[in-house]
Amino acid sequence: MASLLSSIKDHHSERRLFVGRVAFSVLLALVLLGTVVARLVQLQVFGYEHFAERSQGNRVRIEAVPPIRGLVFDRQGRVLAENLPAYRLELIPEQVRDIEGTLTRLAALGLIDEEAIPRFLELSRSAPRFKPVALNLRMTDEQIADFAIRRPRFPGVDFRPRLVRHYPDGEAVAHAVGYVGALSTEDLQALDPARYAGTSQTGKTGVENSYESILHGHAGFRHIVTNARGRQVPASSRDLLDTLPTDKQPAPGDNVYLSIDLDLQRTAYQSLEGRRGAVVAIDPWSGEILALTSAPSFDPNLFALGMSSAEFRALTGDPDQPLFNRAVVGTYPPGSTIKPMLAIAALETGATNLTRKSLCRGWFSLPNSSHRYRDWKPEGHGEIDLHGAIAQSCDVYFYEISNDIGIDRMHDYLDRFGLGHPTGIDIVGEVAGLVPNREWKRQRFGPSPEGRWYQGETIIASIGQGYMLATPLQLASATAAVATRGIRYRPRLVAAYENPLTGERTLTAPERLADVNLSSPFYWDGIVEAMYGVMHEPDGTAYEVGSDADHEIAGKSGTAQVFSVAQDAEYNEEELEERMWDHALFIAFAPLENPQIAVSVIVENGSSGSRVAAPVAKAVIDAYLGAGHAP
């Protein structure tokens, strides 16, 4: 049995097998250890610089530093748009256990808009949990004090300072200066990402928009050290920053100086209080806009600081359209305010002269027509010349001469004064208005009978009705051309801009446009004298306003129908809703010799240009010339 077991169990073979396995294991361990050592040598010796750089990149993040936006001043250096510190309420998601409950309690305290809670919840889920979510961009002093008392009840919620755009005169300058608002998707696609890194707002309207590239500046950057989660580490752990490139400081935007006179702007806005309308005042010898206001207006600070959903709905749903810039975008039938320009066309074409008289019986009819085109004065003006036709605004006189001028020549002469196309003012959004002619109607309505121009349409165009439309800005520019006897400049709002670091100022030069050249300078004298008669002669339409004026003012009233009145119907204002009343218009310039200001006024549904719009124009002129701007 022992010999059998001895033959089965081979101790020598087992020993050799064991020794072989041990040797293989040791060899394998040595190979693996050598591989690890080799890899460590490769990482820490040969690849040190490469991986140290990558490690540093994981710890150091470049953070954009937005630039300080340039300021906006009026022509006297008074601030129209500035940057002020404000406090906003923020929530850090990782520090708040019940975000929805916290937001609900904040809404109950009136600190946030309840309708915005779903949006805040989405932001807290989509953004890194250590990054704050802005809940209220414009905390009031009362809200800050109220929240400070309750802060222990809201862990993870706090208020922090930041710079925000502020408009000291708010509504009075809103349509000229414009406002800034949050960047939209369209803005991000159009703007330079590097220049706008870290920026959350951009100019939306007015000068803020048109001069965005000048006002914005250039973003800088700084290096910050973060931990593995991407959170910034305390300042004491930033020793690595000493080895990094120097941070780039942001370059602030340039300051912009407008040609607007703030006192005059306030006067213009206050003169329209409680009305819908616009006022534009311009320097005839440079094209500089002295005042540009539209009423009703809005507070641009609401957009800069953020507004609630209810506030935005109230603003956009207001039937008086406070966001609508009536001065630049609003188009209205110019009414009789075009008569001075149309008189120039009549004199140049020979349709009338300075001494020709016509009989005004209160109505006019075309040959072989029973239709009567009525004068605003039912009994008529009697025998009247061009001077009286302008001073007393005789419609019949202009009905007659327009029939001789023809619509195409009317169009050509009014075009010389800038009517019917944009003035080219340096803010976006301006509309062209309309001075019709035969070609325009053919293109508008095609070869059908609707595309034919009828003689009666020329008649009503002569008093600024029918298809004719103009903006208050266009009327002010045309009035300035009359004041200068045909010399024209492009209207502009920005007079200069300066580098805030060096103080270097760049002036914007006046841009001369094509002059209105006449065959005789006496025509200008005749038209200006007639416009003087509007304000200062007893039978002038605005004599009650101009009789006690401190300066010699040349003006022209206008009244534009909102709807047509049937041939035999009577216009009875008392039976109509206020929004169906006629628009009131007035244009003027002063002083008579060497004019310094030209003004246009539109008061929607104001009923009478001489009674309602003329006092506004006079108030603006008196405010400007009374402040020492008279020659």
Q: What is the CATH number of the domain that holds 225?
A: 3.90.1310.10
Dist. CA 205–CA 217, nearest whole Å? 18
Q: What is the pTM of this model?
A: 0.83
User: First CA to last CA across the chain, in angstroms?
Assistant: 142
* pLDDT, position 127: 62
Question: Which residue, 301, 92, 69, 255, is CA-closest to 163?
Answer: 69
For residue 592 the two structure tokens come to: 């008579």
Residue 518 lies in a domain: no
7 is catalytic: no
Dist. CA 542–CA 552, nearest whole Å? 13
* pLDDT, position 339: 96
Which residue(s) pair with 90 in the sheet?
A: 134, 158
Residue 114 lies in a domain: yes
For 299-345, how does the pLDDT look when each residue is reduced to its tens digit (9 = 90+)?
A: 999 888 777 778 888 999 999 999 999 999 999 999 999 999 999 99
Q: Which of 259, 271, 336, 610 is catalytic?
A: 336
Residue 416 lies in a domain: no
Residue 77 lies in a domain: yes
For residue 143 the two structure tokens come to: 């809200």
Query: DSSP states of 293-338 as a string?
Result: EEES---THHHHH---HHHHHHHHT-TT-TTS-TTTT--B--GGGG
Dist. CA 195–CA 590, nearest whole Å? 46
As separate numbers, helices (DSSP H) first and strands (DSSP E) second, the chain gives 23, 20
Residue 82 lies in a domain: yes
For residue 459 the two structure tokens come to: 């008649």
Sort strands 72-73 and 255-258 into parallel, antiparallel or unpaired: parallel
* pLDDT, position 458: 95
Residue 55 lies in a domain: no
* pLDDT, position 5: 47
* pLDDT, position 69: 93
Could you tell me the residue range of the domain that residue 117 belongs to? 63-258
Q: What is the enclosing helix (H) or strand (E) of 224?
A: strand 220-225
Beta strands in 47-185 (DSSP E): 60-65, 72-73, 79-91, 133-136, 157-166, 180-182
* pLDDT, position 585: 96
Name every residue whose Cβ is closer than 8 Å to that of residue 362 and which is 6 or more positions away in sequence. 374, 375, 377, 378, 379, 380, 396
Q: What is the mean pLDDT of each run of 10 residues along the chain (631 residues)?
A: 55 74 82 82 69 54 79 96 87 85 89 82 73 77 87 85 89 96 76 78 92 90 63 54 69 95 97 95 97 96 81 89 96 96 96 93 90 91 95 95 94 96 94 95 89 93 94 98 97 95 93 95 96 96 91 93 61 68 93 95 91 95 84 61
Q: How many domains would you assign to the chain? A: 1
Residue 204 lies in a domain: yes
Dist. CA 545–CA 617, nearest whole Å? 10
For 425-461, how does the pLDDT look when each residue is reduced to its tens digit (9 = 90+)?
A: 999 999 999 999 999 999 999 888 889 999 999 999 9
3-state secondary structure at position 105: helix
How many residues make up the chain in this entry? Answer: 631
Residue 221 lies in a domain: yes
Peptide bond into 296 cis (omega under 30): yes
